[in-house]
Amino acid sequence: MKTSRALLILDSDREFLKNFEASLREFYTSFAATTEEEAQKILESEHIDAMFFNKDSGDAESGIDALKRLKALAPELPVIVLTDNPTVETAVEAIKVGAYHYGAKSLHVGELRAFVEKAVQEAMLKRDYERIRDELSRLSGKIVGRSAEIKRILEQIRRVAMTDVTVLVMGESGTGKELVAQEIHTLSKRAQKPFVAVNCASLVRGLVESELFGHQRGSFTGAMQNKLGKFELAEDGTIFLDEIADLDLQSQVKLLRVLQEKVVDRVGGSMPIPIDVRVIAATNRNLSEMTTKGEFREDLYYRLNIFPITLPPLRQHKDDIPLLVQYYLERYGPELGKPNLSVSQSGMEFMMQYDWPGNVRELQNTIQRAILFCSSQKIEASDLPKEITEGKVTTAENIPLPLIEKQAKESAARLAILNALEQTGWNVKKSAQILSIPEKTLYDKCSNLGIKLKKVNKI
């Protein structure tokens, strides 16, 4: 019986493709590609459930590289690698870059089907798991802050969440624009419906309209099936149009129509489709300035700017820093094996003085790093990146120079060791070689610096 599943098969051998397609025609719709570029186009325009990939098209190295690039395009897609001559080395290589299974090209139909079904089931489970995890982190990842600036933002969120009004979230990178969009959705009556985030900057040129509004089968070369656009996927829920300034002018006209008429026109479709979707857009650029320069449509800007929320950069609400630091210590400390951490007074001083060009995201990364690097129960100034501590004088504590030097040395050693371990997949022997020290010394140093060595499976 034919299922609705669609397969993509990439192989330079046209004869093989023909036979493959024919043998599975009864069960699946197959899209054939003879080159990586063709496969890429299909992945961009079709919904594919699993991919078969022949590693032997081209030389071994380039085969694996091509697979890496295709996986980057569709990270959740299960891939089954086929080859004429399977070896352990290439199997390991393929599985490392995310292939689901590895087998000989001579597999028969029953085996192929079993692979497809199992791979698709597992991908579905994984997606469910990730959705639940995202949902949880969304609920627990609330907006932290007690400053007047953050209170004003929370009040705006509360007021607008009840309505269906279009919201434009503005602010520098890392100020929490996406977090605010999620919070509005969570507090709205649409909370149980989808929240669909679209990054307008990463939409593939030429496919923007099909991505947003969907397309009708046969409307352009490569459109072999009907495809729902993000707006239709967000039906009854919220669509988050991130980096809206990057939307090309032609798509801006189409978006304006959606906002005005509350209908979408699928590419190649004959009838407009009514939709009920709440729109939240975000940008870190100055849209008003862009409209004066003709880079962004003025009419669309006014439609989006009905309820603007402008997030302050962290340097304008520094009084929230201690609370944010505490929040990230509690959130990441236990999971990195270090509960009950605190920050030394001088460490906190430096963080209060610093201007945080990367805003809350930079603070979050700094704390994660400091948790990894610190060797005691306290995060010291020396555990912080040098851009935060360099060239500034702290008056809070009288720290003797020898102690500062010792800590700086330890911190540098820890960084070098962790880098080497990461680079080698936590292989002690290879790391010791990189660091030009005997293996035994590396074990000792790790133990002194509190670096727990992970167990590695030797392949």
Residue 63, contacted partner among Mg ion, ligand ATP, none, CB below 5-8 A by kind:
none
Q: Which is nearer to ligand ATP, 17 or 351 (CB)?
A: 351
Q: Which is nearer to ligand ATP, 272 or 385 (CB)?
A: 385
Find the shortest distance in angstroms from Cβ 424 to Mg ion. Answer: 33
Q: What DSSP character marks residue 221?
A: T
Decide: is 235 part of the binding site for Mg ion (CB under 5 A). no
Do 151 and 127 form a contact (C-beta atoms < 8 A)? no
Q: What is the DSSP string of 134-198?
A: HHHHHHHSPPP--SHHHHHHHHHHHHHHTS---EEEE-STTSSHHHHHHHHHHHSTTTTS-EEEE
Between the alpha carbon of residue 51 and those of residues 9, 47, 81, 117, 288, the distances in Å are 6, 11, 8, 12, 45
Which among 31-39, 44-52, 137-145, 392-400 is the span making contact with ligand ATP, rule CB under 6 A?
A: 137-145
Residue 333, contacted partner among ligand ATP, Mg ion, none, CB below 5-8 A by kind:
none
Find the shortest distance in angstroms from Cβ 364 to ligand ATP. Answer: 5
Decide: is 245 part of the binding site for ligand ATP (CB under 6 A). no
Decide: is 163 part of the binding site for ligand ATP (CB under 6 A). no
Do 312 and 149 form a contact (C-beta atoms < 8 A)? yes
Find the shortest distance in angstroms from Cβ 274 to ligand ATP. Answer: 30
Residue of 361, 369, 433, 453 that binds ligand ATP (CB under 6 A): 361
Element (H, E) at 101: strand 101-104
Residue of 154, 165, 179, 449 that binds ligand ATP (CB under 6 A): 179
Residue 364, contacted partner among ligand ATP, Mg ion, none, CB below 5-8 A by kind:
ligand ATP
Say how many residues touch ligand ATP, by CB under 6 A: 16
Q: Which amino acid is at 48?
A: I
Q: Which is nearer to Mg ion, 225 or 310 (CB)?
A: 310
Checking DSSP bridges between strand 342-343 and strand 378-379, what pairing results, if any? Answer: parallel
What are 84's strand-pairing partners?
none
The two tokens of residue 300 are: 């669309």
Find the shortest distance in angstroms from Cβ 181 to ligand ATP. Answer: 8
Find the shortest distance in angstroms from Cβ 177 to Mg ion. Answer: 5
Which among 96-104, 175-183, 299-307, 373-381 is the span making contact with ligand ATP, rule CB under 6 A?
A: 175-183
Decide: is 450 part of the binding site for ligand ATP (CB under 6 A). no
In angstroms, the CA 444 to CA 426 distance is 15
Find the shortest distance in angstroms from Cβ 141 to ligand ATP. Answer: 5
Find the shortest distance in angstroms from Cβ 351 to ligand ATP. Answer: 15
Say how many residues touch Mg ion, by CB under 5 A: 1
Decide: is 284 part of the binding site for ligand ATP (CB under 6 A). yes
Decide: is 246 part of the binding site for Mg ion (CB under 5 A). no
CA atoms within 13 A on the CB side of 68: 9
Residue of 78, 145, 214, 237 that binds ligand ATP (CB under 6 A): 145
The two tokens of residue 210 are: 């099909």
Strand order in the sheet with 79-83: 29-33, 6-10, 50-54, 79-83, 101-104
Decide: is 178 part of the binding site for Mg ion (CB under 5 A). yes
Burial of 85-106, coded b for 16+ CB within 10 Å and e otherwise, reads: ebeeebbebbeebbbbbbbebe
The two tokens of residue 221 are: 């070369």
Residue 237, contacted partner among ligand ATP, Mg ion, none, CB below 5-8 A by kind:
none
Instruction: Please give the backbone phi and psi of residue 342, each rounded to the nearest 5 degrees, phi first.
Output: -135, 175
Residue of 78, 176, 229, 333 that binds ligand ATP (CB under 6 A): 176
Find the shortest distance in angstroms from Cβ 324 to ligand ATP. Answer: 6
In angstroms, the CA 112 to CA 5 distance is 14
The two tokens of residue 85 are: 């001559």
Residue of 360, 371, 374, 420 that binds ligand ATP (CB under 6 A): 360
Site residues for ligand ATP per CB under 6 A: 141, 143-145, 171, 173-179, 284, 360-361, 364
